[in-house]
Chain A
């Protein structure tokens, strides 16, 4: 059974439906990407999981049991709209957030020290939050999210506001938390980070799930049967097996061919290998970015009709 099971959730506001029967299963210990354009309903769904909002219909179960208010201590939530009390001291602030999640004072203090040390922020413990740089504040925010070691972590656009160095450190920490057994729900429209860290994804558009599955499956489903061939020769067209495509604007040295319907990759390659000197070849899988844009656009066309 899925660790977090979202079943047919509906949320309506005056005049529009934010979530229209959304279902989603998140397995324990995986990093799950929740994708979608602005206004698709991601934040609403995340707020429902966090019990900030109540669903009009449907259910959310955690570890097989319907969620209650006491379950929020098992969640660490980094909202997209986030901030800190500017006048509070860094240490006090982290301890406060930990204790709000039900930690004892001693545990929260010990955990705060451990995390500040890990992020190299120890000497800032007694400084006010407002004296820290934006990057350091983001780290404090992250520590405040994970201080109580929750089994379920929800990050809404975690990398926004991080420079590349800090984003990399954050990514390492998120992967480490996953390896320790945390389940991570990751909401973003940064597709590069999805490919790097997520195993499963769900794509929301117009309040509905339009795509779901593992990253590999989704890519296979959306592949266009395009092969990039590296060869010094000039390959000519062969209608029976493939058509030639204009070269990729980035990788101009590759020759791109699109297989004819029903043709297997190895058939085309073995034929090419007989006639040309091949130095290498690879199947071109679409990037998540391409899949995202393609899916959202096609659905928009459908829904506009």
Chain B
């Protein structure tokens, strides 16, 4: 094995063998699941733990009370003998068993006001339940009172969901294009690039600083060229990142399959639930999304993603390596890393803005400038990018990445042997010469 291979292997093993790497790799998807599961779990525990509330209903109109259906949370008892005026007295004298009292006055149709009496605090859930039931009933009653036959059906018919399909005209003929899915994909690729460069760039910097503080670096560069050491680090950490991402993808697919199986098994037992109804309505939407996802032309996007990803990673990771070599301790690094992170943030926000208008002037410029192009171009790619822009952007990115690597190597060569007095930006420029 040549020296570069040895250095890559050592760097890779030193990170992958760490306990923190294993925790991080397995912990992230777990954390993800926990974050998703907590609200569901809490909601479930909350509903499960609470006893059914007893609500008495006074309905002066006599028409609306039957609309309040008892369920697990509320049992509605219709008090037929009471009116709004004596309900207060009744409730005051009533035993504590009744949690609240709903009073529907006779003029509810015109005022639209319903009272809820209670001795304790009323939950928002009760208020919304009562409001929704009564409002629906009143609305239906209003429609019915107009006396137009089949009005309900007419209203239902008038309610339409619009599915806008955008058709892209190209040489290959009309093709349904994929606005939502394209935006999602572009944004996902952009985010992956951003996160990867930031996470593993920082990892490279720490590794450089660690070798310097350990004072191992001079021993190593007496056996290999400093450039080999730097490149070995960049490639080694890059492989660590790819390993970590591969594990995450596999874990997410497993979790997704398991979770999907559980949901799929639960659905048929609950056919009439509102969720199932909503799901049925969304079938059309899902079909549209699926159609869109299938219509995206993946091969050029993925090829370009790989190119931009490598270019962006090389550019930023060598910057981090060069800057890391100039400091003695990780805590001193911030003066150099702040500008780099700032540029990356600009790229990230430009990416978000460009997702709205992928052909606007800012999107075009940010996807050509090498420091932002790896993130921004990902957003534009699924919408189609003129070939000349793509080539210009890639040539600039690869050229800049190589130039930065070369300059970073020159800084690195000097920086790793520089101890004591803190290096300034001026020193870095001197070292580049």
Contacts and interface: CB of A to CB of B under 8 A. Distances in A.
Contacts of A97: 219, 223
Contacts of A141: 219
A72 B14 contact: no
Contact of B417 (A52, A83, A84, A96): A52
A87 interface: yes
Interface residues of A, number: 27
16 contacts: A47-B417, A50-B222, A52-B222, A72-B223, A73-B223, A77-B219, A79-B218, A79-B219, A82-B215, A82-B219, A83-B219, A87-B17, A96-B6, A97-B219, A100-B224, A141-B219
- Interface of chain B, main secondary structure: helix
B123 interface: no
A214 B222 CA distance: 28
B262 interface: no
Interface in B170-227: 211, 214-216, 218-226
Interface string A81-107: 111111110000000110111000000
A36 to B, nearest CB: 19
A14 B430 contact: yes
Contact of B215 (A73, A77, A81, A87): A81
A85 B1 CA distance: 21
Nearest to A83: B215
B431 to A, nearest CB: 10
B90 interface: no
Interface of B: 1, 3, 6-7, 10, 14, 17-18, 211, 214-216, 218-226, 417, 419, 430
Contacts of B417: 47, 52
A33 interface: no
B220 to A, nearest CB: 7
Interface of A: 14, 47, 50, 52, 69, 72-73, 75, 77-79, 81-88, 96-97, 99-101, 141, 144-145
Nearest to B220: A100
B209 to A, nearest CB: 13
Given A84-B214, A85-B14, A88-B14, A99 B222 contact: no
A14 B428 CA distance: 13
Contacts of B225: 69
A20 B242 CA distance: 49
A28 B221 CA distance: 25
A185 B223 CA distance: 17
A99 B215 contact: no
Contacts of A77: 219, 222
A99 B4 CA distance: 11
B419 A85 contact: no
Closest 8 CB pairs of A and B: A83-B215, A100-B223, A77-B222, A83-B214, A79-B218, A50-B222, A81-B215, A83-B216
Contacts of B419: 81
A144 B219 CA distance: 9
